[in-house]
C-alpha cells in the first residue's frame, strides 16, 4: 500500500468510526482506502462489493457475507494484516484491518526482478507462517497470490484472506473464485476447496517470486487451466529444499500436499513437531529478519535495592536480565467498585492467617530439577511458568481439566486468571509482535478460543501483567523503549469482556522502571517512587490522576503486589534497617511490624495476610518460603537449584495464581 489517490465524488467520507483519507486501490472484490481511527491511528478500510441480491441494511440476522468476514477476526496476526473490525455500510460490507506500509510482491518482482537467497527465504517462511495462522483459525484464503502479499518493513504480510470464500458464500450463483494462474486444480473442477488449495497457490507464488513468472504461465485462460490440470509445473532455477517443498505443494492431488504447519516445520528446519504458537512465533521472527536469540530488546532492566539485594522484576524481560525468580500471586475476591478518594479504605474480605496443615505433595516439572511443594489448602498455586534458556525459552500453562502443564510457545509470558477461565499471554520479545502496536493474547481455557488485544504503539511497549482479582481486567505497565533509562510512561487496563485496552498516561517523573500494581479496591493503581527517605508509594486513579502519596516506606517488591490479599497492609524492605521487612498499615501509612529476614534473600510478596514470601538464597537449593511476622519459616513452597536461577540450567520463572482459600 504505497500510492494514495484522492477520494472520488461518490466515495463515503467515513466508514463506521473511521475517516477515509484517500484511495489505496480497487479490484474485483472492492475498493481499499486509507483510513484514520478516532485516535488518529492509520488503518486500511476495504469496502466490498454489495452482496448479490442484497439491498437492505444489516438486521438481526446478518448477511451471509457478513457472517463469513466476521470469522476473519479469529486469525492471529502472525505475518498477516490483522482484521480489527467488520461491519455494514448500508448494504455494503466493510473490513477494517491493520495498515501495512509497503509494496506488494507483484509490484516488487515486476519492477525489481525476482527475489534471491535470504530475501526469498524470508518471504517463504513469512507467508507460510501467515497461512499456518489463517488455517489454525479455521479460515481458507482461497485467493493467495503475489498481489495479496505486502512487503512491509518488518517482513511480508498476507492480506485479503477468506474474502473470496465470503463473497462465494454470499453469491446467488456458482462460479470460479480466485486468480487462475495461482488456483489449484480442484478449484476448476467444482471439488471441495480446503486449506490444501492455499498450499498450491503458495507454491505458485514462490515460483513467481523466484523466477518472475507463475509455474503454469499467464497467457490465455484455457491454456493456463489446461497446464494446471494436466502438465508439470515449470520451476525454473528454483533449487534446494525450497524447490522440493514447492514441488510437493504443486501436486495435482490435494491429499499429497503438506499442511501449512508441516511445511513451516520444514522451512524452519525443525527436527520435531512443536506447538503452533512456538512455530508461528519462530516463523514471524525469521520473516522479519530478527535474530533468534534469547534476548529482550528494550526490556526494562532489573533493579537492585539500596543494600545490593536483587529485586526480581515481574516481566520476563526483567528476569532475564536480573537472573532472579519472578512470582506473581493474584489476589482473590476484592471488590472493584470502591470510590476513589484521597485516602482510600482497603477492601474488606475474609482474612486467612493460618498455614494449611495438610501435607504438601512434591511436584516435578519437565526438564527441571526444581521441586514444588503444593498443598490443597494453599491460597496460591503455580499455574504457569517459563523456562528461560540460552537456546530457546519455553512457556507453560496449567490445563484446566487435568492440571498438567502444556507448552504455549517460546518467548511468551503466560498468566492464568484467578477464576481459571483465561490465560493472558504477553510477548516479551517485541520484534516478534507483528504490526505497529504491542499486543496481548487472551485465551479462553475451556475452548482454546483466542482474542488479540492491541495496546500501545511501538516503540513503547508493555510488560508486567497483573490480573484483577475478579479476572475481568489485566493491568500492564507501559515503558518507553527508546530511552536508555526505560522510563515508565503509564499503564494499560485490558478489559476481557470487550477485548479492548485503555491506555493511560501519567506523570511518572522519578518513578524509573518500577511497574504499576493494583491497589486495594482495584479502582486505583500504585507504583514505587523516590522520596526523602528512600522510597514511597504513589496511587493513581484509572484516569491517571494522583490520589494519594505514602512517603518513606522503603523498597517494595518489584516482582509482586506489595499489598496484602485483604489490602489492609503492605510490605517493603525497611528503609532504616538492614535484613528486615516492614509491614505498613494501608489506611494510615504507619508501621505495623518489622520482620527479620536473611540478608541474602529477595522479597517476593504475600502468602496470606499473616505471612510473606521470600526467596532465601543462603543455601543450595534455594528455598521459596513463607515466614511469619517473627521471621520464622512456616512453609517451604519450592526448592530451586542455584543454577536454575541463572546458571547452566537456565532460569525457572513460576507464576502464581491466588485461589482465595
**Which residue ranges make up each domain of the chain?**
14-288, 303-658
Other C-beta atoms lying within 10 Å of the C-beta of residue 108: 20
State which H helix or E strand residue 198 sits in: helix 195-211
Check residues 21 and 154 and name the one with the higher pLDDT.
21
C-alpha pair distances (Å), 233 with each of 146, 158, 252, 555: 17, 24, 10, 68
pLDDT of residue 131: 94
**102-106, 295-299, 552-556: least confidently modelled range:** 295-299
Check residues 557 and 508 and name the one with the higher pLDDT.
557
DSSP state of 344: P
pLDDT of residue 20: 93
Average pLDDT rounded to a whole number, residues 149-178: 66
pLDDT of residue 467: 92
- Global pTM reads 0.51
Residue 443 in this model has a pLDDT that exceeds 50: yes
pLDDT of residue 29: 75
Compute the distance between CA of residue 420 and CA of residue 291 in angstroms, rounded to an integer: 35
Compute the distance between CA of residue 460 and CA of residue 282 in angstroms, rounded to an integer: 22
**Reported confidence tier of residue 349, pLDDT bands at 50, 70, 90:** very low
Check residues 468 and 331 and name the one with the higher pLDDT.
468
pLDDT of residue 331: 30
pLDDT of residue 233: 96
Q: Is 572 exposed, middle or buried (0-12, 13-18, 19+ CB in 10 A)?
A: buried
Residue 51 in this model has a pLDDT that exceeds 90: no
**Reported confidence tier of residue 598, pLDDT bands at 50, 70, 90:** confident
The per-residue DSSP string of 548-608 comes to EEE-S--BPPSSS-SB-TTSSEEEEE-SSSTTEEEEEETTT--EEEEEE--SSEEEEEEEE
Q: Are 46 and 164 in contact (CB under 8 A)?
A: no
Q: Give percent of the chain with pLDDT exceeding 90.
A: 33
**Reported confidence tier of residue 325, pLDDT bands at 50, 70, 90:** very low
What SS3 state is found at 314? coil
Compute the distance between CA of residue 323 and CA of residue 578 in angstroms, rounded to an integer: 22
pLDDT of residue 316: 25
pLDDT of residue 355: 66
Residue 329 in this model has a pLDDT that exceeds 70: no
Which residues 6+ apart lie within 8 Å of 302 measured at CB?
Answer: 310, 311, 312, 313, 318, 319, 321, 322, 323, 324
Domain 14-288 class, CATH top level: mainly alpha
Residue 88 in this model has a pLDDT that exceeds 60: yes
Closest to 304 (Cα-Cα) out of 324, 284, 334, 276 = 324
**Reported confidence tier of residue 409, pLDDT bands at 50, 70, 90:** confident
**Reported confidence tier of residue 335, pLDDT bands at 50, 70, 90:** very low
Check residues 36 and 312 and name the one with the higher pLDDT.
36
pLDDT of residue 259: 95
Q: Are 592 and 583 in contact (CB under 8 A)?
A: yes
**Reported confidence tier of residue 474, pLDDT bands at 50, 70, 90:** very high
Residue 379 in this model has a pLDDT that exceeds 90: no
Check residues 302 and 414 and name the one with the higher pLDDT.
414
Q: Are 115 and 208 in contact (CB under 8 A)?
A: no
**Reported confidence tier of residue 431, pLDDT bands at 50, 70, 90:** low
Residue 417 in this model has a pLDDT that exceeds 60: yes
Check residues 512 and 263 and name the one with the higher pLDDT.
263
Check residues 466 and 284 and name the one with the higher pLDDT.
466
Catalytic site includes residue 143 = yes
pLDDT tens sequence across 534-554? 688 999 999 999 999 998 888
Residue 150 in this model has a pLDDT that exceeds 70: yes
**Reported confidence tier of residue 660, pLDDT bands at 50, 70, 90:** very low
Compute the distance between CA of residue 188 and CA of residue 180 in angstroms, rounded to an integer: 9
Q: Is 568 left (phi over 0), alpha (psi -120 to 50) or beta?
A: alpha
Residue 60 in this model has a pLDDT that exceeds 60: no
Residue 163 in this model has a pLDDT that exceeds 80: no
ω into 459 cis (within 30 of 0): yes
Residue 15 in this model has a pLDDT that exceeds 50: yes
**34-43, 215-224, 419-428: least confidently modelled range:** 34-43
pLDDT of residue 204: 97
Residue 92 in this model has a pLDDT that exceeds 60: yes
pLDDT of residue 108: 94
Compute the distance between CA of residue 275 and CA of residue 281 in angstroms, rounded to an integer: 10
Residue 146 in this model has a pLDDT that exceeds 90: yes
**266-275, 493-502, 560-569: least confidently modelled range:** 266-275
pLDDT of residue 170: 42
Q: Give percent of the chain with pLDDT exceeding 70.
A: 76
Residue 157 in this model has a pLDDT that exceeds 60: yes
φ and ψ of 6, to 5 deg: -65, 160
Q: Average per-residue pLDDT in the chain?
A: 78
Closest to 214 (Cα-Cα) out of 231, 234, 186, 187 = 234
Per CATH, 14-288 and 303-658 having the same topology is answered no
pLDDT of residue 314: 25
Among the listed residues 63, 143, 276, 278, the single catalytic one is 143
The angle at the Cα of 590, spanning 585 to 595, to the nearest 5 degrees, equals: 75
Q: Are 32 and 45 in contact (CB under 8 A)?
A: yes
pLDDT of residue 323: 27
**491-495, 508-512, 563-567: least confidently modelled range:** 508-512
> According to the CATH classification, is domain 303-658 in 3.30.43.10?
no
**66-80, 97-111, 377-391, 476-490: least confidently modelled range:** 66-80
Average pLDDT rounded to a whole number, residues 152-161: 84
Amino acid at each position: 500500500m504505497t500510492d494514495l489517490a484522492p477520494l472520488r465524488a461518490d466515495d463515503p467520507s467515513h466508514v463506521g468510526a473511521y475517516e477515509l483519507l484517500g484511495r489505496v486501490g480497487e479490484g474485483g472484490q472492492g475498493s481499499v482506502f486509507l483510513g484514520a481511527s478516532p485516535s488518529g491511528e492509520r488503518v486500511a478500510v476495504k469496502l466490498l462489493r454489495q452482496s448479490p441480491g442484497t439491498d437492505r441494511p444489516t438486521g438481526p440476522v446478518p448477511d451471509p457475507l457478513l457472517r463469513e468476514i466476521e470469522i476473519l477476526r479469529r486469525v492471529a496476526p502472525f505475518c498477516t494484516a490483522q482484521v480489527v473490525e467488520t461491519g455494514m455500510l448500508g448494504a455494503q460490507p466493510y473490513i477494517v484491518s491493520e495498515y501495512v506500509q509497503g509494496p506488494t510482491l507483484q509490484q516488487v518482482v515486476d519492477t525489481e526482478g525476482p527475489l534471491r537467497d535470504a530475501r526469498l527465504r524470508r518471504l517463504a517462511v513469512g507467508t507460510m507462517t501467515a497461512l499456518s495462522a489463517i488455517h489454525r483459525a479455521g479460515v481458507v484464503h482461497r485467493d493467495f497470490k503475489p498481489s495479496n502479499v505486502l512487503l512491509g518493513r518488518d517482513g511480508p504480510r498476507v492480506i485479503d484472506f477468506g474474502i473470496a470464500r465470503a463473497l462465494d458464500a454470499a453469491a446467488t450463483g456458482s462460479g470460479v473464485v480466485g486468480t487462475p494462474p495461482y488456483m489449484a486444480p480442484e478449484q476448476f473442477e467444482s471439488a471441495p476447496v480446503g486449506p490444501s488449495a492455499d498450499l498450491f497457490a503458495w507454491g505458485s507464488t514462490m515460483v513467481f517470486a523466484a523466477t518472475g513468472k507463475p509455474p503454469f504461465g499467464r497467457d490465455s485462460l484455457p491454456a493456463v487451466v489446461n497446464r494446471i490440470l494436466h502438465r508439470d509445473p515449470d520451476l525454473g532455477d528454483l533449487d534446494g529444499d525450497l524447490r522440493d517443498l514447492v514441488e510437493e505443494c504443486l501436486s495435482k492431488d490435494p491429499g499429497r500436499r503438506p499442511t501449512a504447519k508441516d511445511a513451516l516445520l520444514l522451512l524452519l528446519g525443525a527436527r520435531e513437531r512443536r506447538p503452533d504458537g512456538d512455530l508461528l512465533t519462530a516463523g514471524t521472527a525469521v520473516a522479519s529478519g530478527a535474530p533468534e536469540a534469547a534476548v529482550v530488546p528494550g526490556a526494562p532492566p532489573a533493579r537492585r535495592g539500596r543494600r545490593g539485594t536483587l529485586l526480581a522484576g515481574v516481566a520476563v524481560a526483567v528476569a532475564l536480565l536480573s537472573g532472579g525468580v519472578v512470582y506473581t500471586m493474584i489476589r482473590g475476591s476484592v471488590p472493584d467498585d470502591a470510590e476513589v478518594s484521597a485516602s482510600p479504605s482497603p477492601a474488606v474480605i475474609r482474612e486467612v492467617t493460618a498455614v494449611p496443615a495438610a501435607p504438601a505433595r512434591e511436584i516435578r516439572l519437565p526438564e527441571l530439577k526444581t521441586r514444588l511443594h503444593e498443598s490443597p489448602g494453599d491460597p496460591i498455586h503455580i499455574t504457569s511458568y517459563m523456562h528461560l534458556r540460552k537456546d530457546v525459552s519455553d512457556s507453560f500453562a496449567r490445563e484446566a481439566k487435568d492440571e498438567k502443564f502444556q507448552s504455549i510457545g517460546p518467548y511468551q509470558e503466560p498468566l492464568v486468571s484467578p477464576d481459571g477461565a483465561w490465560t493472558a499471554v504477553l510477548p516479551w520479545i517485541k520484534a516478534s509482535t507483528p504490526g505497529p502496536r504491542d499486543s496481548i493474547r487472551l485465551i479462553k481455557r475451556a475452548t482454546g478460543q483466542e482474542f488479540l488485544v492491541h495496546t500501545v504503539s511501538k516503540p513503547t511497549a508493555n510488560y508486567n501483567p497483573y490480573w484483577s482479582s475478579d479476572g475481568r481486567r489485566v493491568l500492564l505497565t507501559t515503558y518507553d523503549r527508546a530511552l536508555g533509562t526505560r522510563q515508565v510512561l503509564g499503564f494499560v487496563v485490558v478489559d476481557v469482556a470487550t477485548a479492548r485496552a485503555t491506555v493511560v498516561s501519567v506523570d511518572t517523573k522519578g518513578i524509573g522502571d518500577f511497574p504499576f500494581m493494583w491497589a486495594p479496591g482495584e479502582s486505583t493503581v500504585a507504583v514505587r517512587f523516590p522520596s526523602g527517605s528512600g522510597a514511597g508509594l504513589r496511587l493513581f486513579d484509572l484516569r491517571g490522576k494522583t490520589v494519594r502519596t505514602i512517603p518513606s516506606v522503603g523498597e517494595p517488591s518489584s516482582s509482586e503486589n506489595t499489598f496484602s490479599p485483604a489490602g489492609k497492609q503492605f510490605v517493603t524492605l525497611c528503609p532504616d534497617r538492614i535484613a528486615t521487612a516492614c509491614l505498613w498499615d494501608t489506611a494510615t501509612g504507619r508501621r505495623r511490624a518489622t520482620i527479620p529476614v536473611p540478608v541474602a534473600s529477595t522479597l517476593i510478596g504475600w502468602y496470606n495476610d499473616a505471612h510473606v514470601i521470600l526467596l532465601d538464597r543462603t543455601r543450595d537449593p534455594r528455598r521459596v518460603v513463607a515466614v511469619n511476622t517473627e521471621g520464622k519459616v512456616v512453609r517451604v513452597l519450592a526448592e530451586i537449584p542455584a543454577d536454575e536461577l541463572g546458571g547452566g540450567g537456565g532460569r525457572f520463572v513460576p507464576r502464581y495464581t491466588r485461589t482465595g482459600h
